Amino acid sequence: MARIQVEGNGRASAAPDEINLQLTVGSVGTEYGEVIEAQDRKVRLLKDAFVACGLDRSAIKTEDFKVMVDRRYEENNSEVFIGYRGIHELTFCFPLDRPLLNALLAECPGSEATPDIAISFQVSNSEALQKIALEDAFAAARKSAEILARSSGCTLGDLVEVLYGERKHLTTMTYRVNQDWGQFDYCKLSYADEIEPEAIETSEKVSVTWELRP
């Protein structure tokens, strides 16, 4: 019996309802221990400030921590030791709450930490959004298959096979505020009001095979 194989692409989008905040705290110094202590102090002060804004301390996670040797290379290819550079990346997620985001951002320049900031948005129920995209992909495949079947004077028969394509990750815009580790000394209390996140989008692809009936 003849068969027909068709690919279907589906998309889905939704307004974000969560904020993911990533903070990069940096310290420099000529002594290794000095940099470690500075990092610990800055992160502790930052966490204290965020907890005072209503954030749960346990929600603030370390994503990366490292201390690197800082060198300068001369024209004769020799290395000159400058000191150490420490980086501590923090990340946490919370419901989309502009007043809370404003409060958290306002604490960043006022603290000794003065972190670099990356703000991204996401949907809390990403599986539901991907399910919609997957259903849309299958419906698109069936619609195309029915059109092709009619064009050939046939009808669709039994479903033979469904191949699931590559899943596309949910995407959205990321907003960054670079504070140059202490050079940025202010932050508007209404900063978050100027941010309008794009819809979160995802896509799915399926390949479906049906039998063709005369």
> What's the CA angle centered on 161, arms 156 and 166, to 5 degrees?
120
Q: Provide the mean pLDDT of the chain.
A: 84
Q: What does the pLDDT look like over 177-211, one tens digit per residue?
A: 444 444 444 444 556 666 778 888 888 899 999 99
Residue 163, strand partner residues: 207
The per-residue pLDDT for 184 is: 40
**Taking the CB of residue 85, how many other CB atoms lie within 10 A of it?**
16
Which DSSP helix (H) or strand (E) runs through 39?
helix 32-52
Q: Per-residue pLDDT tens for 100-130?
A: 888 888 888 767 788 888 888 888 888 898 8
Q: Are 43 and 111 a contacting pair, CB within 8 Å?
A: no
Instruction: Please tell me the predicted confidence (pLDDT) of residue 159.
Output: 92
